[in-house]
């Protein structure tokens, strides 16, 4: 019996290895992460994709309420930046950058979108913050205001539709209202709703109803950071899989292969746990897909697991 376990990756058409993996029969989807390109580069990427003989379906990732850096304001003593969405939050409060690896203390919010941080020599961040990066504010007072989609995201949706995209990911889904608003732009396209914070989990638990062309995704890269405490992640993943038998799960998979030739034992055990919980659609994170060799190792390892463990589980 053939295994039902599917694998997806994140690539852009301009990547040197895109052509190789876009025709790899072991892959079921390729995600184009819209946060990775800026301005006119998006049209260039879509033109490249249009000209290539890819066979793996392409999905376009649209950002909803996810907080991202729109501009970085130069200052020698501390960090100042502009957000893509206006917010309200009690200050001072901690802001997390680089997947929570680089914290900084937010001192003031001006006009909703300008964030002023405390003395960087004492309170961080340690690493450079760049335009387009995401950040996390876990304080309970946080309110993200304004429209669901920025004008930039609306433009990306329009361009994706213009180039024939019918498969989409939508980030930071928190309610059926988010889905309904997105449908106003993409119609009856296939939508994968990424669950990435506590409000998203509340939507899954209390409001989500399975519909045609709608699936959930446990987007663990951000979800793990957004939870109150790390050990809540297993229960969150179980909830999503229980509510949607067709749910996807992504990020933090086979990460040891970024630097190693052979996966860690924990990597295979995690794949088995995710499969046993009910996930049949898994996606590798952006970082693992940036270079050809680590990605090739990951696909080989995943396919070996699929043929050995998942296939035998279906017999």
Q: Which of 88, 118, 144 is the last residue of a domain?
A: 144
Domain tally for the chain? Answer: 2
Q: What is the pLDDT of residues 244-289, one digit of tens each?
A: 999 999 999 999 999 999 999 999 999 999 999 999 999 999 999 9
For residues 203 and 191, state if they share a domain: yes
Confidence band, pLDDT 50/70/90 cuts, at residue 315: low
How far apart CA 21 and CA 32 sit, in angstroms, is: 13
**How confident is the model at residue 1, as a pLDDT?**
36
- Residue span of the structural domain in which 96 resides: 69-144
For residues 93 and 48, state if they share a domain: no
**How confident is the model at residue 34, as a pLDDT?**
84
In this prediction, residues 151-171 reach a mean pLDDT of 96
Q: Which of 109, 144, 179 is the last residue of a domain?
A: 144
Q: Which of 121, 144, 167 is the last residue of a domain?
A: 144
Is-contact 196 172, C-beta < 8 A? yes
- CATH number of residue 56's parent domain: 3.20.20.60
Give 252's contacts (C-beta < 8 A, 6+ positions apart).
220, 221, 224, 285
Is-contact 223 236, C-beta < 8 A? yes
**How confident is the model at residue 55, as a pLDDT?**
97
**How confident is the model at residue 124, as a pLDDT?**
83
Give 291's contacts (C-beta < 8 A, 6+ positions apart).
17
Distances (CA, A) of 184 to 121, 179, 268: 46, 9, 41
For residues 271 and 140, state if they share a domain: no
Q: What is the pLDDT of residues 115-145, one digit of tens each?
A: 999 988 888 888 889 988 999 999 999 999 9
- In percent, how much of the chain has pLDDT > 90? 88
**pLDDT higher than 70, residue 22:** yes
Is-contact 22 56, C-beta < 8 A? yes
**pLDDT higher than 50, residue 156:** yes
For residues 118 and 182, state if they share a domain: no
For residues 140 and 239, state if they share a domain: no
Confidence band, pLDDT 50/70/90 cuts, at residue 39: low
For residues 88 and 54, state if they share a domain: no
């Amino acid at each position: 019996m053939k295994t039902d376990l599917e694998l997806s990756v994140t690539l852009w058409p301009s990547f040197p290895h895109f052509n190789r993996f876009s025709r790899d029969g072991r892959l079921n989807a390729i995600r184009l992460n819209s946060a990775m390109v800026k301005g006119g580069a998006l049209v260039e990427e879509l033109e490249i994709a249009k000209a290539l003989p890819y066979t793996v379906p392409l999905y376009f990732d649209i950002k909803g309420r996810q907080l991202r850096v729109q501009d970085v304001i130069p200052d020698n003593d501390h960090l100042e930046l502009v957000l893509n969405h206006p917010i309200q939050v009690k200050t001072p409060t901690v802001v997390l950058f680089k997947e929570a690896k680089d914290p900084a203390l937010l001192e003031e919010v001006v006009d909703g979108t300008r964030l002023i941080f405390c003395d960087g020599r004492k309170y961080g961040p340690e690493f450079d913050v760049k335009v387009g990066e995401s950040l996390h504010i876990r304080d309970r007072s946080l309110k993200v205001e304004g429209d669901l989609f920025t004008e930039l995201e609306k433009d990306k949706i329009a361009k994706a539709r213009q180039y024939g995209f019918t498969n989409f990911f939508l980030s930071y889904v928190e309610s059926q209202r988010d889905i309904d608003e997105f449908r106003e732009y993409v119609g009856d396209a296939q939508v994968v709703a990424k669950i990435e914070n506590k409000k998203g989990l509340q939507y899954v638990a209390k409001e989500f109803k399975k519909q045609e062309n709608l699936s959930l995704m446990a987007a663990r890269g951000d979800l793990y950071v957004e939870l109150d405490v790390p050990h809540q992640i297993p229960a969150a993943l179980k909830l999503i899989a229980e509510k949607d038998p067709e749910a996807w799960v992504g990020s933090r998979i086979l990460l040891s292969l970024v630097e190693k030739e052979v996966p860690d034992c924990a990597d295979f055990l995690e794949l088995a746990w995710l499969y046993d919980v009910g996930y049949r659609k898994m996606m590798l994170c952006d970082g693992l897909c940036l270079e050809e060799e680590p990605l090739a190792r990951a696909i080989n390892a995943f396919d070996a697991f699929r043929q050995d463990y998942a296939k035998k589980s279906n017999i």
